[in-house]
Amino acid sequence: MARANDVVAGLLSEYAELLSITGGDRFKIRSYEKAARAVGGHATDLSTLDEAGVQQIPNVGKSIAGKVVEAQRTGTFPQLEELRAKIPAGVLDLMRIPNLGPAKALTVYRELGISSTDELLAAVDAGRLRELKGFGERTEEVIRTGIALVRGGAGRVLMATALELAESIVDRLAPLADRCTYAGSLRRGRETVGDIDILAASPDSGPLMAAFVEMPEVDSVLVRGDKKTSIRTRAHPTAASAEGSTSAGLQVDLRVVPVEVWGAALQYFTGSKEHNVRTREMAVHAGLKLSEYGLFEADTGELIVAATEEDVYRRLGLDWVPPTLREDRGEVTAARTGDLPDLVTVESLRGDLHTHTDLTDGVSTLDEMLTAAAARGYEYYAVTDHAPELFMQRMTLDKALAQRARIEELRRTYRSMRLLHGTELNIAPDGSVDWPEDVLAEFDICVASVHSHFTLSRDEQTRRLIRACENPYVHVIGHPTGRLIGRREPIDLDLPAVFDAAARTGTALEINGGPDRLDLRDEHILWAKERGVTFVIDSDAHAVPQLDFVRYATLTAQRGWLTADRVLNAWPYEKVLAFLTAT
């Protein structure tokens, strides 16, 4: 089930969102936004805290704590329900269109009576929005793009949201089965999924199916049978990403197979359609037949192997193919010739080089983040709070120097983990960054990222990132394309030119683990790897639980065929230090 913190954080975020639509006090809106991040990022499970304990969470005062406790008890709180009743559901959908926002969504509703995406698109096509103050041709283009982005992700959820649900289901079903796991696109590490496939092996499917349909997440049972049962989940908000997500109406299929065909079924229900076509073609050419029930002699129907995936691949003359590679991108040929890569894993990572604290927009303290990082066994760890260009974070040089002094003190405490004091810089439209050179030179690591001006032209964005790569003080380009999955498209870039610049200047490109970022994406990693780029797998954590975000970045890296030798933070500290100090 969803972590209580995530569910409540989602409700607080929704309340802040509704306040903004109805013209609520800006200070109050900001307070609830900060509280949502704090609750979602708090390391202690809310279900174990009383109201006094909830008030100990940063940015959660007495009033908000009362709402948190009520939300824990009933799944909502009265003030949220009052605002929900005031806003038509269609307006909520409109405000989620990228770049439309609450104010314009409410304007088109009040002025034109528009309360659905279809009505909005029709109004754009008819030129009706131009009648409204603040709307013009450029706004129409942005709205069209935003609608296409939202519709393209309709019915899909972030990998992190789906993994949370799938692993919770597997944990509850596993005691009733001989084997149980998730399969499908989720096992392949796709950034979003449209449904979840759960596979179990047992001689008796009855107890599994009964437990499955009785889960509290179930909204409706679509199909119920002995071999396959499908359910649709209830909607619930989560805080898997910085902005939250939802698992509304997600279909989950449970298939139960005999234990003796487990391997064949897992292979079949994991691979993409294209990968499975390739493996079945190989079977046919060898006089065999491959299905979810096993690998058979085509002429006699005799079962050859089915117990494990390794058996199936081996009998086809292939090395076992890691699930994240099963997309028909050359993995079958590589498996036949023994050329599959030794993929980077979470265990390969020796440190995290992009993290935040409550000095800027994080919700966990420096000490809390360092304690959690040390518990992960990291060899080194970088704190990279925002630089002053993001003025809302209120960073100053005095604050940065005080943090550096504190880190210097803590180095004596964390002797087994090297501490790096860094900064996340903002890349301006002209490619410059915030701190002057004499200040930049004193940081151990500088991550530079795009945080604004997302609509510049392709040439402008490309020059912007290349200039940042050419800055001798910039070590890493953070979340290079600036995308937010389903909410903001990537900035328009000549990616090969940026990759060439990064390789030439020795600037690492980040694979950001934020569930709604996963930036660079898998295809980009494949391209950049061929051009000699060095990568870094980061959490971009703003709270202790978010240190786990490296898991999602690593799955993305695997889908890009990435090996540990190409990942900066999989290197020993001395080699990392040499990279950071090279000029």
**DSSP code per residue over 96-153:** TSTTTHHHHHHHHHHHH---SHHHHHHHHHTTGGGGSTT--HHHHHHHHHHHHHHHHT
> What is the pLDDT at residue 456?
93
Helix axes 397-410, 366-375, angle to 10 degrees: 40
> What is the pLDDT at residue 285?
95
> What is the pLDDT at residue 110?
79
pLDDT digits (tens, 9 = 90+) for 479-524: 999 999 988 889 999 999 999 999 999 999 999 999 999 999 999 9
> What is the pLDDT at residue 248?
53
Q: How far apart are CA 343 and CA 7, in angstroms?
A: 34
> What is the pLDDT at residue 277?
95
Q: Which of 514, 512, 515, 516 is nearest to 524 (CA)?
A: 512
**C-alpha triplet 332, 336, 340: angle, nearest 5°:** 70
> What is the pLDDT at residue 244?
42
Bridge-based pairing state of the strands 228-233 and 251-257? antiparallel
Coil vs helix vs strand at 529:
helix
AA letter at 301:
G
Residue 534 has phi, psi (to 5 degrees) of: -95, 140
> What is the pLDDT at residue 156?
83
pTM: 0.85
> What is the pLDDT at residue 578?
96
When computed from its CA atoms, the radius of gyration of the chain, rounded to whole angstroms, is: 25
- Residue numbers of the chain with a pLDDT score lower than 50: 239-247
Residue 198 has phi, psi (to 5 degrees) of: -110, 130
AA letter at 269:
F
The CA-atom distances, in angstroms, between 76 and each of 67, 237, 246, 250, 322 are 8, 11, 16, 21, 42
Residue 539 has phi, psi (to 5 degrees) of: -85, -30
> What is the pLDDT at residue 239?
44
Q: How far apart are CA 449 and CA 478, in angstroms?
A: 5
> What is the pLDDT at residue 338?
96
Read off the tokens for 229.
């049962």
In the sheet with 476-478, reading across from the earlier edge strand, the strands are: 351-352, 380-386, 418-426, 445-449, 476-478, 508-512, 535-538
Contact assessment for residue 558 and residue 325, using Cβ atoms and an 8 Å cutoff? yes
> What is the pLDDT at residue 243?
42
pLDDT digits (tens, 9 = 90+) for 74-129: 888 988 888 888 877 677 778 777 767 777 887 888 788 887 888 888 888 888 88
**C-alpha triplet 458, 460, 461: angle, nearest 5°:** 65
Read off the tokens for 415.
């002797």
Domains, the chain, in order of start with CATH, read 4-152 (1.10.150.110), 153-257 (3.30.460.10), 268-340 (3.30.210.10), 346-581 (3.20.20.140)
Contact assessment for residue 40 and residue 104, using Cβ atoms and an 8 Å cutoff? no
Q: How far apart are CA 199 and CA 262, in angstroms?
A: 9
